[in-house]
Amino acid sequence: MRTLISGGTVVTASERMVAEVLIDGERVVGLVATGTDLADTFAASADRRIDASGCYVIPGGVDAHTHLQSDGQAVPVLDTFETGTRAAAHGGTTTIIDFAQPSPGARMQEGLDRYLAMTDGNCAIDYGFHMNTFEVDGASPKEMDRLVDQGVTSFKMFMAYPDRLYSDDGQILRMMQQSATNGALVMLHAENGHAIDLLRDQAAARGATSPLDHGLSRRALLEAEAVHRAAVLAQVAGAPTYIVHLSSAEALDAVVAARDKGWNVFAETCPQYLFLSLDDLARPDFQGAKYVCSPPLRPAEHQTALWRGLRTDDLAVVATDHCPFCWSQRELGRADFRAMPNGLPGVEHRVELLYEGVVGSPGLTLNRWVELCATNPARIFGLYPRKGTIAPGSDADVVVFDPAAPHVISADTHHMNVDYSVYEGFELHGRVRHVLSRGRLVIEDGEYRGRPGDGAFLRRNLCHELR
């Protein structure tokens, strides 16, 4: 099947042009300006034509931080690899990188094997894995080497959650030292876990147990302290590091300070930190429970700093940290926020929300929109140029985005397996119209045309651009 996407404005991280995109099978084979003789040749050779006039044609989104079918908390995450990847496709994301996690007491290889079995034949779009890494011992560095050989080239470690996932500074440094030799990337959940747990317990002892108290107990300064410590450890190891879900102005200041010294520190933020705030945690009648995540939502003034960080490239990626729990699961924390599962749904809305932010934020361009949603995560996590761009030879992961198709986000119409939306009532100016994943038309005029198993496991390369 040869498909021609015709007459749209093709936007990549570096270019913008009205062009014809020719796809043969799973790959892009041609890109040429509309109205040229070669464009006519493309049209004559196509079996199928998608009219993209008036629309943007962008590379499929790469969401580098999702949690599907995860059993890492007290209750299971609701979106399976089937439902979550289908929802991602509806929102213009054609690649996710999720987290494999070993069972308690097991080795990392067991975690990868278990998650490969869970995803096999179930995903609507392509997927890769980071490895959640804890219980680090003398054998862990060599395990890291073996997983890198299998295409798992990033390893997430936790400076938070001392009771279950935490790694101390020595364990983190040991894995960073190994990453300096094998080319892997250590990612960090950067919060000072011991200090935060003390503050949480002190809050509960004085009866401060609401969703708002969850946010107030996880101080922004303790996120900033952990980011700084992570940057120092990476510098000592001679390796890059990547900070996941950065939420606060203070933490961003720590990233900026490290990068200004020339240190290899990269960071992502998430839509919830750009569009939601501590005020949402304070909603009455326990409605704030819908907004409990870690790090928590911050006061609204932090949003200004994060948008500035996106403009200056001190924040390199926007990912979702998609981790949905239904209302009845939230009820577990009604008496005490410490018992509540943490995480927000959002895999379906990232591309559209970021477009909204770009059109409303001076200094952000359409090229930067594509860079944050697709190109940078593909580069950082070893998928570029196969993913993250539209160019001859790249995978035909292509989104037709209509900037003149307003709609309202609602749980009544979203496709994620969760019974509320944290963006309920948000009015957006544009929406995803068509989505191709490796040449397969999986979304057509907003309707799902794919099937489970369309997605394939991605063995990722090392990212030499971070060296």
For residue range 207-235, what is the model confidence (pLDDT) as tens digits?
A: 999 999 999 999 999 999 999 999 999 99
Per-residue pLDDT, 361: 79
Give the mean pLDDT of the chain: 96
Its CATH architecture, for the domain 60-387, is Alpha-Beta Barrel (3.20)
The structure's pTM equals 0.97
Task: Tell me: pLDDT of 382 over 80.
Answer: yes
How many other CB atoms are found less than 10 A from the CB of residue 106? 13
Per-residue pLDDT, 467: 61
- Tell me: the pLDDT tens digits for 410-460? 999 999 999 999 999 999 999 999 999 999 999 999 999 999 999 999 999
Tokens of 172: 């983190």
- Residues forming CATH 3.20.20.140 domain(s) in the chain: 60-387
Backbone φ and ψ of 196, nearest 5°: -65, -40
What number is the average pLDDT over the span 352-376? Answer: 93
Per-residue pLDDT, 74: 77
Q: CB of 98 within 8 A of CB of 66?
A: yes
Adjacent-strand bridge partners of 437 = 440
Per-residue pLDDT, 284: 97
What number is the average pLDDT over the span 177-198? Answer: 98
Per-residue pLDDT, 289: 97
- Which of 443, 364, 348 has the alpha carbon at shortest distance from 397? 443
Per-residue pLDDT, 465: 67
Per-residue pLDDT, 71: 79
Which range is most confident: 163-167, 334-338, 463-467? 334-338
Per-residue pLDDT, 92: 98
Its CATH architecture, for the domain 2-58+389-448, is Roll (2.30)
Task: Categorize the per-residue pLDDT at 66 as very low, low, confident or very high, splitting at 50, 70 and 90.
Answer: very high
Percent of the chain with pLDDT over 90: 94
Omega cis (within 30) before 299: no
- Tell me: the pLDDT tens digits for 384-415? 999 999 999 999 999 999 999 999 999 999 99
Work out whether the CA dihedral 77, 83, 85, 89 comes out positive or negative.
negative
- Residues forming CATH 2.30.40.10 domain(s) in the chain: 2-58+389-448
Percent of the chain with pLDDT over 70: 99
- Tell me: the pLDDT tens digits for 288-317? 999 999 999 999 999 999 999 999 999 999
The residues, any chain, with a CB within 8 Å of residue 61's CB and separated by 6 or more, are 88, 91, 92, 93, 94, 95, 350, 351, 373, 374, 399
